[in-house]
Amino acid sequence: MARVLYEVADILELQGVQFKPTAYRKAARNIESLTKELEEIQKEGELREIPGVGQAIAKKIEEMLSTGHIRYLDELKEEFPAGLLQIIDVPDIGPKTAMHLYRELKITNLADLKHAAEQHQIRELKGFGERSEERVLHGIALLERRSGRMLLGYAYPVAEGMVEYIRRKASLEKVSLGGSLRRMKETIGDIDILAGSNDPQWVMDIFTTHPQVEEVVERGQTKASVRLRAGVQVDLRVVEEVQYGAALQYFTGSKDHNVALRQMAIDQGLKLNEYGLFRKDSNEVVAREREEDIYHALGLEIMPPEMRENRGEIQASIAHRLPNLVGPNDVRGDLHVHTLASDGNATIEEIAYACKRKGYEYVGITDHSEALKVANGLSVERLRGNMDIARNVSSLVEVKVLIGAEVEILENGKFDYPDDVLRQLDFVVGAVHSKFTMPEKEMTERVLTALSNDNMTILAHPTGRVLEQREPYALDMDRVMQAAKDHEVCLELNAFPERLDLNDIYCRKAKEMGVRVAISTDSHSIAQLDNMRYGVATARRGWLEAQDVLNTMGLVSLTDFLSH
DNA sequence: GCCGTTTTCGGCCCGACTGTTTTCAGTCG
């Protein structure tokens, strides 16, 4: 539904229609972050409760739900060559330029555009020159080798490195990540860095000469963009030191959050931009030095960056009901780790020591079960051997080693180990790794059957999605979450950068439903234990507090919980 | 197209960078 509305917005924008594209996109974004099935909302007659959905869009949603298409969009598409939509994906080409090229040169797709640029037809147009033609070709080349969005877990270390580099080389204190990376979104488009310095040129010199820089995309008085060899774009913005708080607020976003904040400012006779919060009439500075000053001046409590998506955090802040989000230090252990016995590359002992160093009280060993041959799944016999080792290690390392297993949920919903074996384990992580393409009804029954087994503790990576690679399997998540609640089974938030499953939105729904979440790394090596931070970040984006998370329990409480 | 304890009509966030158009339009975030 969101995709369709975005398409409407794109075409309207090409036509030069004012405001409607923004309206359609706003509705689309809010539909994307729904936690309830759109059909259900429609049945209850509450479509217009969705922010940004009014009479006209509600009608189109209903049409889409009942007929599978929207006539309005079909008509729009008939008027326009479909290829024009590709053209606005080229960097530096927007709707105005695309229409101009279409009218003047009859360019209707990427191939036409490339041809026209190579034949030097574009530079002949009014308002274009040699440079714009080069930019077009460059933009097409970038688009052709673009790999989509980058995963948080890969971008974050790179970005942290850049920030540290600037901090050290420029001896700056006020340097920070901004944008989607600071909000810890699961995927990011580019890396945003903000610096507060009264010598911007000096900071930008350092930035643009970083050894990993492949190309300086743009460079002005206070802003520069580079592309790293890794392909990712990094934007740096430098503001005066006194403006740092306002700028940090501004460049952290999200866009929707900022728009809402700026509207609040306007309502109070103020003006908010990246330089500060000002009185509208006199331009007198109201706040700017620290991020929290901006929020306080608007009558708000500051909230963590992970919450700033305009999904109710502003209302919660006004009402003094912001949650106390779970943090990295609340985590007492990791309940999904593989060893050499299946497809991991470390021994139980190595893992236990690593967890000790992380300050954990316990670690749950969960090798694969027998049916997952490709991962060297353990037979019952080998599993028992692992239990013996675990008992020994636990007495040596001062970290409690819990023995569990990541047990295959077979096609019929039964587990890959018999119940008497499951009972001997400290806990059971159930997982679907086969027959991903089952129809929704059958897949849901399969998972519900597993959830009803008394031995089940945690449902691993519940939706099965792999970011940028594989869609979630067809599963009725409403029923799965309700069953998890009924049977007191926890849902995993798998911290692997490719998964982050549950995602932020489902985390929030789990909290609302009273379903406990286990944040686990699914580590196959010692280094991967560090992915916990991305799991915690996603939990924070889902507004989870420590009490919503299983592995914030101390060992005593956890043991008690597991024995029930 | 949406929205509203100032409004059911008239607004809709705001600024940097680039190229080329010597005063600004287009794009982007």
H/E/C letters for each residue in A87-148? Answer: HCCCCCCCHHHHHHHHHHHCCCCHHHHHHHHHCCCHHHCCCCCHHHHHHHHHHHHHHHCCCC
Whether the Cβ atoms of residue A206 and residue A169 lie closer than 8 Å to each other:
yes
Strand B closer than 7 A to residue A96 Cβ: yes
Q: Which two tokens stand for residue A490?
A: 């926890």
CA–C1' gap, A27 and B1, in angstroms: 10
Positions on chain B within 7 A of a protein C-beta? 1-3, 6, 11-21, 25-29
Q: So what's the pLDDT on residue A36?
A: 80
Question: Which of chain A's residues 520-549 bind strand B, using a 7 Å CB cutoff?
Answer: none
Strand B contact residues in chain A (125-164), C-beta within 7 Å: 126-133, 135
Instruction: Report the distance separating Cα A218 and Cα A233, nearest Å.
Output: 11
Which pLDDT value is given to residue A409?
Answer: 96
Q: Which residues contact A195 (CB under 8 A, 6 or more apart)?
A: A166, A170, A172, A174, A175, A203, A236, A237, A238, A239
CATH architecture of A243-318: 2-Layer Sandwich (3.30)
The answer to whether strand B lies under 7 Å from the CB of residue A88 is: yes
Q: Which letter, b or e, does each residue of A198-208 get, where b requires 16 or more Cβ atoms within 10 Å of its Cβ?
A: eebeebbebbb
Alpha-carbon distances of A152 from A149, A195, A495, A502, A531, rounded to whole Å? 9, 21, 11, 15, 10
Closest CA to A515 of A540, A538, A543, A549: A549
Q: Is the CB of A23 under 7 A from strand B?
A: yes
Q: What one-character DSSP code corresponds to residue A325?
A: B
The nucleotide minimizing the C1' distance to residue A48's CA is B2
Task: Report the alpha-carbon distance of residue A467 to residue A498 in Å, rounded.
Answer: 5
Contact A468, A151 (CB under 8 A): yes
In the three-class reduction of DSSP (H, G, I as helix; E, B as strand; rest coil), residue A186 is classed as: coil
Beta-sheet pairing, A517-520 with A458-459:
unpaired
**Domain A150-239 class, CATH top level:** alpha beta
Q: What is the pLDDT of residue A147?
A: 64
pLDDT at position A146 is 66
The tens digit of pLDDT for each residue in A321-336 reads: 999 999 999 999 999 9
Residues 6+ apart with CB under 8 A from A272: A246, A250, A261, A262, A265, A278, A294, A298
Q: Give me the A residues in range 186-205 that sit within 7 A (CB) of strand B.
A: 189-190, 192
Query: How is residue A309 written in tokens?
Result: 């998506």
- Phi/psi zone of residue A338: left (φ > 0), alpha (ψ -120 to 50 degrees), beta? beta
CB-based burial of residue A447 (10 Å sphere; 0-12 exposed, 13-18 middle, 19+ buried)? buried
∠ at Cα A450 (A545, A441), nearest 5°?
A: 100
Strand B: which residues 33-72 of A lie within 7 A (CB)? Answer: 48, 51-58
Q: Where in chain A is the domain with CATH 3.30.460.10?
A: 150-239
Taking each helix axis from N to C end, the angle separating A348-357 and A380-397, rounded to the nearest 10 degrees, works out to 40
From the CA of A394 to the C1' of B22: give the distance in Å. 77
pLDDT digits (tens, 9 = 90+) for A226-244: 998 877 889 999 999 999 9
**Cis (ω within 30 of 0) for the bond into A254?**
yes
Which nucleotide has the shortest C1'-to-CA distance from A269? B6
**Cα–Cα distance between A230 and A507 in angstroms, integer?**
32
DSSP-derived secondary structure letter, A149 = P
* A435 backbone φψ class: left, alpha, beta (φ>0; ψ -120 to 50): left
> Is the CB of A283 less than 7 A from some atom of nucleic acid strand B?
no
Instruction: Give the tokens for residue A280.
Output: 């509208």
Both tokens of A508, joined, read 């929030």
Task: Please identify every stretch of chain A with a pLDDT value under 50, giving residue numbers as ranges.
Answer: none
Nucleotide nearest to A218 (CA to C1'): B17
Nearest residue, CA→C1' of B21? A127
d(CA A271, CA A232): 33
Taking the stretch 372-411 of protein chain A, residues with Cβ within 7 Å of any atom in nucleic acid chain B are none
Give the nucleotide at minimum CA-to-C1' distance from A255: B29
- The CA distance from A335 to A241, in Å, is 44
| Contact between the CB of A370 and strand B at under 7 Å | no
Burial letters for A464-496: b for 16+ Cβ neighbours within 10 Å, e otherwise? bbebeeeebbebbbeebbebbbeeebbbbbbbb
Q: Which nucleotide is nearest to A99 (CA to C1')?
A: B26
Residue intervals in chain A for CATH 1.10.150.110: 2-144
Phi/psi at A92 (5° precision)? 75, 0
Rounded Cα gap, residues A179 and A86, in angstroms: 26
Minimum-distance nucleotide, CA of A98 to C1'? B26
Secondary structure class of A255 (helix, strand, coil)? helix
Q: How far is the CA of A24 from the C1' of B9 (A)?
A: 20
For residues A246 and A196, what is the distance between their CA atoms, to the nearest angstrom?
11
- How far apart CA A176 and CA A167 sit, in angstroms, is 9
Q: Do residues A472 and A499 lie in contact, with contact meaning Cβ atoms separated by under 8 Å?
A: no
- The hierarchical CATH code for the domain A328-562 is 3.20.20.140
Q: Is cis: bond before A502, omega within 30 of 0?
A: yes
CA distance A334 to A561: 15
Sheet containing A333-337: which strands, arranged edge to edge? A333-337, A362-368, A400-408, A427-431, A458-459, A490-494, A517-520
> How high is the pLDDT of residue A324?
97
Q: Is the CB of A18 under 7 A from strand B?
A: yes
What confidence score (pLDDT) does residue A356 get?
95
For chain A residues 210-269, those near strand B by a CB cutoff of 7 A are: 218-223, 233, 235, 255, 258-259, 262-263, 266-267
The answer to whether strand B lies under 7 Å from the CB of residue A2 is no
Residue type at A360?
Y
Task: List every span in chain A annotated with CATH 3.20.20.140.
Answer: 328-562
Q: Which CATH superfamily is domain A2-144 in?
A: DNA polymerase beta, N-terminal domain-like (1.10.150.110)
**Using an 8 Å Cβ cutoff, are A374 and A433 in contact?**
no
